[in-house]
Structure 1
Amino acid sequence: METLSKEEEDYPLAFIITIHKDLEMFVRLLRAIYAPHNVYCIHIDAKAPEDYRLSVERLVECFPNVFLASVSETVTYGGFSRLKADINCMEDLVRSPVKWRKVINLCGQDFPVQSNLEMVRYMQHEEWRDNNMTPGIKQPENMQYRTHIKHIEVKGDYVASLGQGHKKSPPPHNLTIYFGTAYYSLQRAFVEYVLTSSVAKDLLEWSKDTYSPDEHYWVTLNHVEDAPGSRVNGEWEGNIRAIKWKDQEGTAHQGCSGRYIRDICIYDVKDLSWIIEKNSMFANKFESTSFPEALDCLEQWHRQKVLQQASVLIKLSWQLATEVNISTATVTG
């Protein structure tokens, strides 16, 4: 509950966290990234169980700088609702009294690799100080079906193509559509641009019947020359996420020690050395039940690093675990 350095205090961050399951995973994520000078908007999927929502509400009430999104979406994988969840939090965050500098979006299965201090320094590096981070490229031909053909979202279930007979109109304002990750680091001025500019609003409206619009919306706007912090020549730069995609096995990584779900690795302990070496801001994905040791180890490693970097006096209660010398411990019974 204390700021660990003036450097971090002078550069407050905003976080958007979208969740729908695995309460323990969310609690541990929030514990790892929490700092009293930052601000956190939590979007709970409207279809999440009521007891889950109540548990999150009770936790959030403990912190003045953590709040629930004022509007909850019924989120569908690949749907516009996923993008709208981030927009809803952004509308809340710009009204926050915290004068945050950049916003980072997370899901409930992310976990930090960099400390808050390292993230602040990374985003203030010469390459990123005046720029948003939205890794991506001009939309490849094999991804054009997402925005060339109309799709329909069956709320909370799936997104379906309407077929070749339902082609979409060209994007508004003669925009070039890009394709990239749904994860970002965005300047506050860019967020205000997203919420107020006609270009951003028209692209948002146009994106309603596309597939997985969060993978084209942010990166497309970040290639608009007039957008604050835009990176018109940017491609895949930006070390935001460590993700093991199945189709990148043998190139970007040497396999998943856990298991693949939707072609993304759920990490086990043996994946941690790759994650730490990659040193992204966050790693995705973890589950608290499938491979709990992986989360335990990374959480302990991350906390030790955070405390080692602190410029204030460390309290014993900030340690996640206490080392015990087994050889001198007295075993009874």
Structure 2
Amino acid sequence: MGNEKKWLFTLFFAAFISLLLFISSICGFNSSYTFTSHKPYSAVHRGRGYPPAFAYYISGSHGDVDRVFRLLLAVYHPRNRYLLHIGTEGTEDERLRLSSLVKSVPAIRVFENVDVIGKPDATTYMGASNIAAILRAAAIFLKMDGDWDWFITLSALDYPLITQDDLSHAFSSISRDANFVDHTSDLGWKEDQRMRPIVVDPGLYLARRTQIFRATEKRPLPNAFKVFTGSPWVILSRPFLEYCIFAWDNLPRTLLMYVNNMILAQEVYFHTVICNTPEFKNTTINADLRFMVWDNPPKMEPLFLDKSNFDQMVQSGAAFARQFAKNDPVLDMVDSKILKRSGNRAAPGAWCTARKSWFVDPCSQWDDVNVLRPGNQVKKFAESLKTMVDDSTLESNQCK
């Protein structure tokens, strides 16, 4: 009888230990988590001998909190820096909610590389206040942590088509002085409809967003510099942004005043600065790395993408795509088939070491965040990137 009790006690104890281990695995804890999984922030190494790092500026408006957070998780990596902006159309409660969502991610709490702008900017869709907001974001990045390589602008309507491991791996093969600016000096119809009209952006002096005001008269094109235009979505090198912010000559400030009264200044400012600066004009790659589908003739914004565009997106060799409707099922396809991301979790990379299961976040544990593991999409993107870099030497793609 005594042996039977001992056997029952042993069986119960073993079952109890198994239950504890099961609960521990659900919560994502184990002995390695406590002692070896969480490297300190100093373990992030940047510079020429390490993979590139990116500074992401992600902007949204009223009702965009969930979209901005989802986009953040899709492009998150401990080596990067992130600045999130909900404009003045959003509420203080929305910004507080976004901050709470950000703090709910274990890696973000440890690496402290995501910030939410507390005092938002009033931006007008077609005005120069958007440029002011972007320059502010760049200045914040340079002040907080200047040890990054490229600055990327995204909005709540964007989504990545490759992982951060893919992006960093592919960018490792190009010069860190390269600037992705889709540009042309052939203004065409834009000269009369965009360049010469005089507008006033109320976002520069009113607290709430409103429409631009149009003057009745027009102005001639400048002859002190050549105007360039192109895609408003850019990927800019740190040296070029330092020039735009600190401006050891007066060109960036002069052009900022010029585009202040221009329609869609985002399509002109960086393009004109870089192509009129001898130090940087040969660093341009004439592309924006975006997949977009346009009407014919094109309207102000590209068409919304859906499941019917998925194969095109995958084969495009682009890094990002726009624009997407909120919670469109095609985003779930990108998460599942490309990013391998689910729920409110960061897209996993080589840095994520937790065992894979439906109840454990693979990025709740990590080791060396400086290691990359490119995925299936990297070949297509790397080929596309190489073609763009090679074509940048063609006269038709240079600042002329």
Is it true that 1:310 corresponds to 2:384 in the alignment?
A: no
CA drift of 1:106 comes to 0.5
Is it true that 1:283 corresponds to 2:321 in the alignment?
A: yes
Matched ranges for 1:151-230 at <5 A: 151-155=199-203, 156-163=209-216, 165-167=217-219, 170=222, 174-197=224-247, 198-228=250-280, 230=281
CA drift of 1:276 comes to 0.9
Residue equivalent to 1:296: 332
Residue equivalent to 1:28: 70
Q: Distance in 2 between matches of 1:192 and 1:183?
A: 18
CA spacing shift, 1:311–1:283, aligned 2, 3 Å: same
CA drift of 1:50 comes to 3.2
CA spacing shift, 1:137–1:179, aligned 2, 3 Å: same
One-letter code aligned to 1:162:
A
CA drift of 1:282 comes to 0.5
Q: Distance in 2 between matches of 1:192 and 1:13?
A: 15
Residue equivalent to 1:252: none
One-letter code aligned to 1:46:
T
SS of corresponding position for 1:182: coil
Residue equivalent to 1:238: 287
| RMSD (Å) for aligned C-alpha atoms | 2.9
Matched ranges for 1:1-333 at <5 A: 10-20=51-61, 21-61=63-103, 63=108, 64-69=112-117, 71-97=119-145, 99-126=147-174, 128-145=175-192, 146-155=194-203, 156-163=209-216, 165-167=217-219, 170=222, 174-197=224-247, 198-228=250-280, 230-231=281-282, 237-247=286-296, 262-289=300-327, 292-304=328-340, 307=348, 310=350, 313=353, 315-316=355-356, 317-318=360-361
CA drift of 1:168 comes to 5.6
CA spacing shift, 1:262–1:225, aligned 2, 3 Å: closer
CA contact (8 A) 1:112 1:302 kept: no
CA drift of 1:72 comes to 2.3
CA spacing shift, 1:271–1:215, aligned 2, 3 Å: same
One-letter code aligned to 2:295:
K
Q: Distance in 1 between matches of 2:287 and 2:354?
A: 32
SS of corresponding position for 1:287: coil
Could you state the TM-score of these two structures normalised by the residue count of structure 1? 0.79
CA drift of 1:154 comes to 3.8
CA drift of 1:162 comes to 1.1
CA drift of 1:143 comes to 0.6
CA contact (8 A) 2:46 2:53 kept: no
The unaligned stretches of length 5 or more in structure 1 are: 250-260, 321-333
CA contact (8 A) 1:17 1:106 kept: yes
Higher helix share goes to which structure? 2
CA drift of 1:176 comes to 0.9
CA drift of 1:311 comes to 7.1
CA spacing shift, 1:175–1:121, aligned 2, 3 Å: farther
CA contact (8 A) 1:38 1:98 kept: no
CA contact (8 A) 2:128 2:263 kept: yes
SS of corresponding position for 2:58: strand
CA contact (8 A) 1:17 1:42 kept: yes
One-letter code aligned to 2:305:
Y
CA spacing shift, 1:93–1:129, aligned 2, 3 Å: closer
CA spacing shift, 1:169–1:181, aligned 2, 3 Å: closer
SS of corresponding position for 1:41: strand
Select the structure with the greater relative contact order (CA < 8 A; seq sep ≥ 6). 2
Residue equivalent to 2:378: none
Q: Distance in 1 between matches of 2:46 and 2:92?
A: 40
CA contact (8 A) 2:353 2:362 kept: no
Could you state the TM-score of these two structures normalised by the residue count of structure 2? 0.67
Aligned length: 298
Higher strand share goes to which structure? 1
One-letter code aligned to 2:338:
H
The unaligned stretches of length 5 or more in structure 2 are: 1-36, 204-208, 342-346, 364-400
CA drift of 1:58 comes to 2.2
CA contact (8 A) 2:55 2:81 kept: yes
CA contact (8 A) 1:29 1:110 kept: yes
Q: Distance in 2 between matches of 1:274 and 1:150?
A: 39
CA drift of 1:19 comes to 0.9
CA spacing shift, 1:60–1:281, aligned 2, 3 Å: same
SS of corresponding position for 1:141: coil
